[in-house]
Structure 1
């Protein structure tokens, strides 16, 4: 594809197929396919959740056991190819063209990156995962003591590898949407491979898979995370931990998300994302001061050094004999990040117009990773320190009930007696509000992404259908909780992870077309910049001649 797609031709090929009645603007094939699949899955879970869980676990175990090397090599490839695009001459290419301008400030941009990418995951796992790796030594990062190895392993799962995947897919989506005039939809990424076929049934299948993975992934996170909110409210006000209460919480969160999603990205999502960052900073600094401050600083420095020192060997490590640990942790994470990438990638693409590829890649790779490392060091380091001084009591709690890990850690903080009660309550309140805020942000950004895909990639759609997708997402989570509780949500998560394998393979193939088209755009933008520079030089010469004549 050496030429940009004509916008009028594009609308005839794609948008003319949309259903545009009742205040909607939807691709009927994609929307119906998704709706039918959601209905079938829910009925399947309703009839026999135990059988569904067994089937999905067998599929997941087969993929992880036999194709673990695919996920590991693919994730490394995405980091390498992203860095190549950043540091080569392709890095000068501007998303949206030479004259495009950024839509959001750097702070708003970073806030939305982290909130949509993994903010809620960091809230959920920042205490539990380091403790697990501390108690059970992983086969990677073994050159340091158990604490630093545990933290470096956690860095590995939440650092450059997931953000390398996100950087690659979001760059591809942004480039084909803003530089090639294609719809902001996953089907556009495959245009160089299949041409106009992406505007037909093939594109409908691609977009349907992306919507299902996004919808189910968000529903899983919402369902599992609402258990953490329930745990926080149980600690604060004694609210019982039960399925009915969690369903009510999902309804409330969905209601707030619909208000945000109606407001759009610039008001709703942006406002909540910036609020998340400010609340998170207050919460993290409070734990840093009240916790073992010196210990946290040592953990951060030494763990980061170990992570960087052993990065290559650990990144390419593929277990040959005992695959249980790597399958349960590293490969599981990589599969989840890849299956999650259409959602996060499309959202990042939507907010990144006007930035050069070099700026984009380095920012997406480094800033969120570094902030994640700091966050994990504060909470993970505090948790490990408390666990060591309490004789393993904190880990015993985490092992049995992961959602309460963060709140239990707060109860163990060494706070002066006269401040203890009020500080613990305030910290728990902030933690609960932060979890809720992150969930609302994930919900509304996910709804915006699903809305974009199901509308064929239109940037502006009606608020009615954005509300519809937000409500459907909450409904799926609530139904699964009622049907099978956590088992149903885990079965759904297992099913979503299985989509990571085909996504990984297709994205690798697609990288060739992306680089080829970036090279074309790089030469075109260079010519435009040279012409503009020449015009400026001529203008300067003319001005100089005028000044001489006046003199």
Structure 2
């Protein structure tokens, strides 16, 4: 019965797909998304000043007027995740009873972190703690400035972003693998929209998801190559130039395309595992060669302050001067929410076979804890070094944020660290940034390809290549013509989608709980029937009694 229903639903959606010339895609979602991206990018490029000001005004209005909504909704998402994990509903398995995980725990955790925020941690691990150390934030008010700075950084990179990711990825995975619907954002709304999700309403939902994913990836790729360019400039003396950055985008896109062609089981998984191993080596080296005792102390103290004051400051909404909260906490929440369709789709894609309890706790706790350790090693080292050199490192962060990581490595104790080893560490750091960007690019291309194909997990290779190239092309063109200002304008526009997405996620949470309750009752009934059947077989063979 379920199989027949699934086939009917798939026929309603996939019958609209364009399947010629080696493609298999939803033409409405693909064409509308592509045209919108081209028109929007053209407007941003040829009216850069006007576009920048317009998007900045929209972002400021959304963040200043909707700060309470971002803060309350993000806390609501964490509460929902914890409820699902610790209630009886946590026993429900993604994919149904007997479904086994596709990936090992190490591979799974590696892909979670690499796709979630690996590149962001590379970019901000030195800069953000220094910002909060120089300008004491109004939250996590500890007696020690360094502890307050690090606890605030934990707040921005910990449970709140991963709660958003956990919720949307769980919803996508549940409706795809348990309800046998396409792995697409439209499927989450099937309980209220029914068959309408396979029509124009579903197309609109998927178009929004594609635009948010592609623009988010393009801006991250464009801004991130500046950090790679800074690393190469620091190591090899290569000019910090937009033409160099476009060449880097081309190389990264080519590498991501090769990974996309090989599929998620090979290229993406291999690169994600490489990322984590390389990151562990890099972090361990900084921990051992840097101010080890200080790092361990600031990690312990900051984690204590963070956990002790988490609830208090999670609900903090500034009543007077909200500029700091708008620029940092609310800005981050808007960015995580707007970024969630991409990360959620990817995590859902690799999480089949996990119980809801295992899934939620792993997505919430493991990446958060690893992020805290990473931030403590690099942020703690940065604060310690900045104190030793009278604020020179913070001056670098203010003037040239992309090079901050390499400057921090350069200022490690020269009596311990030779110049050759410093160059080696900076080289590893540059390679790690490149590796994280390739992983973000290839996983993002797979997600966009899944959405535009109507939720199919195995779409044609030429289609994957097309979206990987489109992502790199948008980033390169914006960077070449408009520079960082064009990319920042686009990023601001993407963040503005955080408000409607927060409302969508709230509705999605309610639908998810109702659907999981239904599956829980069905799984409990099936287990009882299976137990009874096994007991009856034993009874007939004279080997047991029928269980009550």
> TM-score, structure 1 length as denominator?
0.97
- Indicate yes or no: 2:256 matched with 1:238: no
Q: 1:543 Cα shift?
A: 6.6
Rounded to whole Å, the distance in 1 between the matches of 2:104 and 2:364 is 18
Rounded to whole Å, the distance in 1 between the matches of 2:502 and 2:355 is 25
TM alignment of 1:213-362, pairs within 5 A: 213-362=212-361
1:454 to 452, 455, 464: 452
- Indicate yes or no: 2:463 matched with 1:480: no
Rounded to whole Å, the distance in 2 between the matches of 1:408 and 1:98 is 52
Aligned to 1:445: 443
Rounded to whole Å, the distance in 2 between the matches of 1:118 and 1:87 is 26
- Deviation string 1:499-525 (CA, Å, 9 cap, x unpaired) is 110010111122211111100100111
- Indicate yes or no: 2:424 matched with 1:426: yes
- Deviation string 1:180-210 (CA, Å, 9 cap, x unpaired) is 1110000011111211111111111100000
The SS at the match of 1:391 is coil
- Indicate yes or no: 2:170 matched with 1:171: yes
Rounded to whole Å, the distance in 2 between the matches of 1:84 and 1:457 is 28
Contact 2:242 / 2:483 at 8 angstroms: preserved in 1? yes
- Indicate yes or no: 2:477 matched with 1:496: no
Q: 1:544 Cα shift?
A: 6.5
Aligned to 2:202: 203
Aligned to 1:58: 57
1:519 to 506, 517, 520: 517
- Indicate yes or no: 2:394 matched with 1:395: yes
Rounded to whole Å, the distance in 2 between the matches of 1:435 and 1:319 is 35
TM alignment of 1:399-418, pairs within 5 A: 399-416=398-415
- Deviation string 1:477-514 (CA, Å, 9 cap, x unpaired) is 00110121110111010000011100101111222111
Contact 1:397 / 1:405 at 8 angstroms: preserved in 2? yes
Aligned to 1:10: 9
TM alignment of 1:13-52, pairs within 5 A: 13-52=12-51
Q: 1:45 Cα shift?
A: 2.0
The change in CA–CA distance for 1:422 and 1:534 in structure 2 (over 3 A counts) is: farther
- Deviation string 1:10-31 (CA, Å, 9 cap, x unpaired) is 1221101011011001100011
Rounded to whole Å, the distance in 1 between the matches of 2:2 and 2:131 is 52
Q: Matched residue pairs, number?
A: 544
Contact 1:5 / 1:181 at 8 angstroms: preserved in 2? no
Q: Gaps spanning 5+ residues in structure 1: where?
A: 547-551
Rounded to whole Å, the distance in 2 between the matches of 1:543 and 1:372 is 56
Rounded to whole Å, the distance in 2 between the matches of 1:18 and 1:314 is 48
Aligned to 1:509: 507
Q: 1:5 Cα shift?
A: 8.0
Q: 1:284 Cα shift?
A: 0.1
> TM-score, structure 2 length as denominator?
0.97
**RMSD of aligned residue pairs (Cα, Å):** 1.4
Rounded to whole Å, the distance in 2 between the matches of 1:134 and 1:535 is 65
TM alignment of 1:370-389, pairs within 5 A: 370-389=369-388
The change in CA–CA distance for 1:357 and 1:165 in structure 2 (over 3 A counts) is: same
Q: 1:535 Cα shift?
A: 3.6
Aligned to 1:549: none
